[in-house]
Amino acid sequence: EAFNANVAAASQLNAFIVATPEKAVEAAQAVDAKRAKGQDLGKMGGVPIGMKDLFATNGVQTTAASHMLEGFVPQYESTVSQKLWDAGAGMLGKLNLDQFAMGSSNETSYFGNVISPWRRKDGGNADLAPGGSSGGSSSAVAARLCPAATGTDTGGSIRQPAAFTGISGIKPTYGRCSRWGVVAFASSLDQAGPMARDVTDCAIMLEAMAGFDPKDSTSLNLPVPEWEAGLNPDMKGKKVGIPREYRMDGMDPEILKSWDDGIAWLKDAGAEVVDISLPHTKYALPAYYIIAPAEASSNLARYDGVRYGLRDLPEGAGLQDMYAATRADGFGPEVKRRIMIGTYVLSAGFYDAYYNQAQKVRALIARDFEQAWSQCDVILAPTCPSAAFALGDKTSDPLSMYLNDVFAVPASLAGLPAMSVPAGLNSEGLPLGLQIIGKAFDEQGVLNAGLAIE
Ligand code: GLN
């Protein structure tokens, strides 16, 4: 009930698109009934969580924060959300996000931007971005509207909003969480993961979310490890790699300082710190902004006005006019930009020059990490090049918005598990995040290093 009251009271953050308090209450009652019978309460028994509105929820509007899907009520449940309900969690509501998960500030949502609960100490009263695309999730957890929320991460959308709002979030190895029933952005990159107050809560929730799913052809057919039981902040015998290419010219000195703090904390926990090289880092961002839009342009072709959501059928219009009217009306400007970039890089004359090159770069980035693992167990880097920026600061310049993803996209392209954990406040009193990148399937190593920093 307290959480329900919170959600209503904090509506000015605009974190929720739809509130479903009755579902959270149902889950709590189910847990009470189980407790009375002495039954197992489940990994998430009775915990009210927020669900990013990118996960299809049976009977509850699922919009991807777009006009295109406004009013779309799925008749099926995504695998990840179903697993959470099976583990006893209850849904407080559907959380706002960047439209079709495209963005880094939650300002591309059709339902309006989300506001971070954080304020600069003495920088006026500017509303700050909660990060994106999982900005409703980060804002809701940071404001304590819910103890945890789901996120999805294609090129940083769990880690960057977590860093901006002082919470923890992990993107597991590609394939750990089923993509079935998650509105697709870039299928070879999309991964679901938990966003919560601390590393332990992330471990618990990830256990509930992960697992093989025959309905997702890229799902990992591996048992889900007991990450919570395996938590151990002792870093003795572990090597932490510090990638020198992440130390970029003109970097915010406060970000560098928090990185140094993280190095010191891991050393205190017993780790050995080694300098490593990931030579192709600077090509990751351009490769990502070719591959992700290419896949998006293909995935979003399904919104044709026939099958899902919106249909604009002008008087006397034919099929082509209906497609055009629906897509012109249903997609926001950032989504259209991605579709056009994607269509361009996949078109006959440019496929080799752009898409193929980007795929080669992707392989080189993955190889960089492969080589690094001969020297270290996990990698430590900043999550983002800056603390949270003010809403409106970057909306007129898409490139500066994309640059915010520079440290996040390499792990996405390589499919590796990566986490952001809070690493203190900057001089403006805003949270900074540190990122831990691990070997494929080694979420445990990532969580443990996160725990050592926390
Ligand atoms: N900010 C990145 C983008 O706009 C990442 C988004 C995401 O991970 N969903 O593509």
Ligand 1 atom at minimum distance from 132 CA:
1
Q: What are phi and psi of 59, to 5 degrees?
A: 80, 0
Neighbours of 252 (CB within 10 A): 15
HSE toward the beta carbon, residue 86, CA cutoff 13 A: 12
Pocket residue to mutate for ligand 1, from 102, 182, 195, 338, most atoms within 8 A of Cβ: 102
Model ipTM value: 0.98
Supply the residue whose CA is at minimum distance from atom 5 of ligand 1: 155
8 Å CB contact between 361 and 283: yes
8 Å CB contact between 160 and 116: no
Pocket residue to mutate for ligand 1, from 52, 153, 157, 337, most atoms within 8 A of Cβ: 157
Per-residue pLDDT of 242-282, as tens digits, reads: 999 999 888 899 999 999 999 999 999 999 999 999 999 99
Q: For residues 81 and 179, what is the distance between their CA atoms, to the nearest angstrom?
A: 11
User: What pLDDT score does 9 carry?
Assistant: 65
In this prediction, the residues of the chain whose per-residue pLDDT falls under 50 are none
Domain 2-209 has CATH 3.40.50.720: no
- CA–centroid distance, 38 to ligand 1, in Å, is 44
* Residues with C-beta less than 6 Å from any ligand 1 atom: 101-104, 133, 153-157, 185, 292, 405
Query: Is 157 noted as a catalytic residue in this protein?
Result: yes
Using CA atoms, how far residue 401 sits from 154, 291, 385, 395, 404, in Å, is 15, 17, 11, 7, 6
User: What pLDDT score does 125 carry?
Assistant: 78
User: What pLDDT score does 151 carry?
Assistant: 98
* Residues 6+ positions from 207 with CB-CB distance below 8 Å: 43, 224, 225, 226, 227, 228
The reply to whether the predicted model has a pTM over 0.80 is yes
Residue 267, exposed/middle/buried by CB under 10 A (0-12, 13-18, 19+)? middle
User: What pLDDT score does 123 carry?
Assistant: 66
- CA–centroid distance, 267 to ligand 1, in Å, is 32
Q: Which two tokens stand for residue 420?
A: 């952001």
User: What pLDDT score does 18 carry?
Assistant: 95
Query: Is 109 noted as a catalytic residue in this protein?
Result: no
The kind and range of the H/E element at 83 are: helix 79-86
- CA–centroid distance, 315 to ligand 1, in Å, is 37
Give domain limits for the chain: 2-209
- CA–centroid distance, 293 to ligand 1, in Å, is 10
Query: Is 83 noted as a catalytic residue in this protein?
Result: no
- CA–centroid distance, 104 to ligand 1, in Å, is 6
User: What pLDDT score does 208 carry?
Assistant: 98
The kind and range of the H/E element at 32 are: helix 21-36
